[in-house]
């Protein structure tokens, strides 16, 4: 069964095409070290065998670029590269991949004196000369600070949409139309609202759907379904990823979950899911965890996320958000919006209370310390317990 699609422009990504009524493409991302060519190629092939049309790989430095060239030689799968904040690597990687993903919020980390428009032009030059498509990937945890400053309501989805729209305008003005956009948030309601609003303003642009830091299965799958079900049912979305915190040997579960969501929407089963924009606001304790990527320096991260879920069960009725991130690079920013945040280094785990650092702890020390923080937060009265419905 097919899902009725809204007409968007066609974007070719290697041998794959999205938009213009094409079937929705499920994609995934490698979490292996990019420099481990064997492991990364193996994971790409397993994800493709599970049904992924596009697989993303992250690059951080020159060694990753060299590895990407070797990976390209070993696989035919359509590859997307995640530049994280290293937009300067675009020219080096473009010839090895089919799509470049950049995050508008990350363009401000290096060369702050250079206007972001110049950085995008460089990036687009690289994409065009490498025959690559582009994704403008806006993420709630790293929105362009200039856009954030324009919206006084801290919870507004306005900065995400404004950032995406201004990048689209620039790309259009350059004459580069081979791009799609994503607007990801860890809250499914905000994903629905942001994508609906963007699609109403730019119905021509293909959308990549996803919930960022959805967490571990099954909660991460439920959360993603609540966001993607209503959107896909309305014909919004041309490609999607279900981001799950799972060990490397289970990464294909992201693809299986994505295909299941599509099958359910096509069969009309999504109507039974909550519309995330109007769903019950009374949510209890929530663990937000990243899906991991090549930046993870200690694979205990995935296990730690599961241990935190287990340890915090006693506080399930308290509306507390705990963010668990896999690396030192994005961890500090991506935990800012949570009540408590941890991010993982090679030997230590950093703990935060809101935006305030608490300290650095060993992997064997972090659980009791986090529990202490959670107990203090509950005892402080800052959160109101959610009583079960009568």
**Cβ nearer to ligand SF4, comparing 265 with 287:** 287
Q: Can you say how many angstroms the Cα of residue 236 is from the centroid of all Cα atoms in its chain?
A: 18
C-beta neighbour count of 159 within 10 angstroms = 22
> Could you tell me how many residues of this chain bind ligand SF4 (CB under 6 A)?
13
**Cβ nearer to ligand SF4, comparing 8 with 335:** 335
**Cβ nearer to ligand SF4, comparing 134 with 327:** 327
- State yes or no: residue 305 binds ligand SF4 (CB under 6 A): no
CB 331 to ligand SF4: min, Å? 6
CB 180 to ligand SF4: min, Å? 20
CB 302 to ligand SF4: min, Å? 10
**Binding string, residues 317-356; x marks residues near ligand SF4 by CB under 6 A:** --------xxx-xxx--x----------------------
- State yes or no: residue 295 binds ligand SF4 (CB under 6 A): yes
Q: Can you say how many angstroms the Cα of residue 270 is from the centroid of all Cα atoms in its chain?
A: 22
DSSP state of 270: G
- State yes or no: residue 83 binds ligand SF4 (CB under 6 A): no
**CA-to-CA distance for 114 and 368, rounded, in angstroms?**
45
- State yes or no: residue 89 binds ligand SF4 (CB under 6 A): no
Is 369 strand, coil or helix? helix
Token pair of 146 as six digits:
């200039």
**Cβ nearer to ligand SF4, comparing 35 with 292:** 292
Is 332 strand, coil or helix? helix
Is 371 strand, coil or helix? helix
CB 296 to ligand SF4: min, Å? 5
Contact yes or no for 292/31 (Cβ under 8 A): yes
CB 135 to ligand SF4: min, Å? 16
DSSP state of 214: B
**CA-to-CA distance for 244 and 179, rounded, in angstroms?**
25
**CA-to-CA distance for 43 and 178, rounded, in angstroms?**
27
Helix, strand, coil fractions of the chain, as percent rounded to 5 = 40, 20, 40
**Cβ nearer to ligand SF4, comparing 132 with 296:** 296
**Cβ nearer to ligand SF4, comparing 295 with 350:** 295
- State yes or no: residue 241 binds ligand SF4 (CB under 6 A): no
- Contacts of 66 by beta carbon, 8 Å cutoff, 6+ apart: none
Token pair of 381 as six digits:
């009265």
- State yes or no: residue 291 binds ligand SF4 (CB under 6 A): yes
Biggest CA-to-CA distance, the chain: 62
End-to-end CA distance of the chain: 41
From candidates 55, 79, 276, 290, binder to ligand SF4 by CB under 6 A: 290
Q: Can you say how many angstroms the Cα of residue 90 is from the centroid of all Cα atoms in its chain?
A: 20
Q: Interface with ligand SF4 by CB under 6 A: which range of 11-19, 170-178, 291-299, 361-369? A: 291-299
- State yes or no: residue 81 binds ligand SF4 (CB under 6 A): no
- State yes or no: residue 287 binds ligand SF4 (CB under 6 A): no
- State yes or no: residue 185 binds ligand SF4 (CB under 6 A): no
- State yes or no: residue 296 binds ligand SF4 (CB under 6 A): yes
Token pair of 121 as six digits:
């032009």
CB 290 to ligand SF4: min, Å? 3
**CA-to-CA distance for 169 and 177, rounded, in angstroms?**
10
CB 215 to ligand SF4: min, Å? 12
Q: Interface with ligand SF4 by CB under 6 A: which range of 62-70, 86-94, 107-115, 289-297? A: 289-297
Positions in the binding site for ligand SF4 (CB under 6 A): 290-293, 295-296, 325-327, 329-331, 334
């Amino acid at each position: 069964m097919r899902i009725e699609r809204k007409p968007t422009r066609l974007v070719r990504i290697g041998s794959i095409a999205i938009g213009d009524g094409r079937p929705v493409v499920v994609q995934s991302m490698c979490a292996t070290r990019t420099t481990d060519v064997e492991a990364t190629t193996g994971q790409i092939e397993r994800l493709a065998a599970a049904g992924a049309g596009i697989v993303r790989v992250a690059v951080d430095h020159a060694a990753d670029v060299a590895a990407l060239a070797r990976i390209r030689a070993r696989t035919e799968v359509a590859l997307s590269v995640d530049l994280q904040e290293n937009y300067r690597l675009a020219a080096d990687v473009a010839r090895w991949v089919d799509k470049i993903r950049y995050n508008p919020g990350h363009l401000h980390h290096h060369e702050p004196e250079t206007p972001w428009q110049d950085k995008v032009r460089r990036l687009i030059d690289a994409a065009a000369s490498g025959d690559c498509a582009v994704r403008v990937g806006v993420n709630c945890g790293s929105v362009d600070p200039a856009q954030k400053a324009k919206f006084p309501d801290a919870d507004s989805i306005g900065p995400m949409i404004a950032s995406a729209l201004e990048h689209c305008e620039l790309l259009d003005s350059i004459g580069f139309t081979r791009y799609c956009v994503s607007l990801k948030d860890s809250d499914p309601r905000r994903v629905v609202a942001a994508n609906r609003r963007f699609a109403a303003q730019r119905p021509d642009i293909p959308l990549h759907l996803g919930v960022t830091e959805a967490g571990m299965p099954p909660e991460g799958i439920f959360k993603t379904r609540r966001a993607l079900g209503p959107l896909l049912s309305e014909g919004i979305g041309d490609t999607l990823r279900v981001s799950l915190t799972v060990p490397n040997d289970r990464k294909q579960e992201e693809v299986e979950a994505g295909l299941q969501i599509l099958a359910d929407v096509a069969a009309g089963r999504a109507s039974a899911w909550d519309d995330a924009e109007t769903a019950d606001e009374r949510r209890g304790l929530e663990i937000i965890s990243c899906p991991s990527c090549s930046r993870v320096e200690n694979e205990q991260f995935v296990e730690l996320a599961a241990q935190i879920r287990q340890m915090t069960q006693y506080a399930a009725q308290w509306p507390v958000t705990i963010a668990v991130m896999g690396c030192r690079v994005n961890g500090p920013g991506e935990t800012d919006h949570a009540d408590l945040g941890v991010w993982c280094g090679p030997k230590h785990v950093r703990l935060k209370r809101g935006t305030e650092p608490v300290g650095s702890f060993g992997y064997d020390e972090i659980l009791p310390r986090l529990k202490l923080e959670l107990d203090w937060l509950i005892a402080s009265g800052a959160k109101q317990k959610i009583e079960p419905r009568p």
